[in-house]
Amino acid sequence: MRGDTVESVHHCAAAVVDKNGTLIASLGSPEHITYSRSSLKPFQVMPTVMRGVPDRFGLKDRHLALMCASHSGEDRHVEVAREILAAIDAREEDLQCGVHVPLHYLYESNGTPPKSAFSPLHNNCSGKHLGMLALARILGCPFEEYLDLDSPVQCLIRERIASMLGTRAADMPSAIDGCSAPNYALPLRALALGFARLAGAAGPKPASDEECHTACTRIVSAMRTYPEMVSGEGRFDLELSRATNARVFSKAGGEAVECAGIPERGWGVAVKVADGSTRAVGPLMVWVLNELGILDKTERDALDQYIAPVLKNHRDLHIGTIRMNGKLVRHTE
């Protein structure tokens, strides 16, 4: 809204699923297909964990959290990335994620240095790529091939994603992500199921797949213990974790995808803003969590900037707001 008039509209969809695949609630079509982008990172690191990489190389939960991250390139992020790089005996040149100005400059008033001042370690996806390099090291695969769609690294990752999200690898359209890694288009309902299984610390076969269960538990623990590694100051994922004291963990993806896990209920949530507008993502996710009765008053107060967003101009004048206009449809609980 600008003043009292609608200026722009962001069409949204959401799916809420339990770890058994039961649809709890939805907004729009829960079958809406979108590229998962960085929301997929907790699943992309699963084969790395299941093959024993953390123990083999002496990596801790902060390192694992960074492997799940879209970090801001803050000093603490780059330091942990360097620790992983040294542990797996890799070089910066082995990373194929590319270089961009760190995201933390978007949330600071300081001037932005030129892109040439940074390295691949500053890339928001460097942790994910380090996890893939570590898996390549364990598998004995050439580093230069770790992003190839049919490499052993990506084949293991693709099969684990399909297993966790309740689909077949052959049914997941693939394309190249912003960081040059393979990415997959999936229904929101499948993404929500994956996060529900993470939240429930159980894989698709919790009675028999103990290895998967252990990996889920360790990944979620790392994300909840080190949310500052998964995101960065001033960003939604970190603010949601702090506001809820990690009762809810979440992972953003490019083009306005956001997923969350709610361990106390074993639920997963996946949302998408159709036009890719990131300004609508936080308000949408908080609205869904609030409609589900997840947030208490203290948490709602801490997240007020997303519940009742205020839009300001360059003179800091209040010029409008963002409002949710929809209904979360309940299916079952």
CB-CB contact of 119 with 92 (8 Å): yes
Q: Region 39-64: what's the mean pLDDT?
A: 97
pLDDT single digits (tens) 114-173 = 666 788 999 999 999 999 999 999 999 999 999 999 999 999 999 999 999 999 999 999
What was the pLDDT predicted at 54? 95
Is 26 among the domain residues?
yes
* Residue-level pLDDT at 206: 46
Residue 208 has pLDDT above 90, yes or no: no
Half-sphere exposure of 159 (CA within 13 A, CB side): 10
pLDDT tens by residue, 295-309: 999 999 999 999 989
The yes-or-no verdict on residue 203 having pLDDT over 80 is no
Cα(215)–Cα(202) distance, integer angstroms? 9
Q: 191 pLDDT exceeds 80?
A: yes
For residue 207, name the pLDDT band (cuts at 50, 70, 90): very low
Q: Is 22 helix (H, G, I), strand (E, B) or coil?
A: coil
Report yes or no on 1 lying in a domain. Answer: no
Three-class DSSP category at 208: coil
User: Dihedral sign, CA of 114, 115, 120, 122?
Assistant: positive
Coil, strand or helix: which one is 136?
A: helix
pLDDT band at 290 (very low <50, low <70, confident <90, very high): very high
Q: How far apart are CA 24 and CA 35, in angstroms?
A: 22
pLDDT in tens, 309-325: 999 999 999 999 999 99
Domain presence at residue 6: no
The label of the residue with tokens 């107060």 reads: 301
Residue 109: pLDDT band with limits 50, 70, 90 = low
Residue 322: give the domain boundaries. 12-330
Choose among 240, 233, 238, 231: nearest CA to 287: 240
In a domain, 91, yes or no: yes
- What is the DSSP secondary structure assignment for residue 112, as one 8-state letter? P
Q: What is the pLDDT, as a whole number, of residue 283?
A: 97
Q: Using CA atoms, how far apart are residues 169 and 166, in angstroms rounded to an integer?
A: 10
Does residue 4 sit within a domain? no
Q: Give the integer Cα–Cα distance in Å for 266 and 166.
A: 16
Task: State residue 101's pLDDT score.
Answer: 82
Question: What is d(CA 82, CA 85) in angstroms, rounded to the nearest whole number?
Answer: 5
Would you say the C-alpha torsion 286, 172, 134, 123 has a positive or negative sign?
negative
The CATH number covering residue 208 comes to: 3.40.710
- Regarding pTM above 0.85, the answer is yes
Please give the tally of structural domains in the chain. 1
Residue 149 maps to a domain: yes
Distance (Å, whole) CA 128 – CA 199 = 20
Mean pLDDT of 246-263: 97
36 part of a folded domain = yes
Q: How far apart are CA 132 and CA 225, in angstroms?
A: 22
The verdict on residue 168 lying in a domain is yes
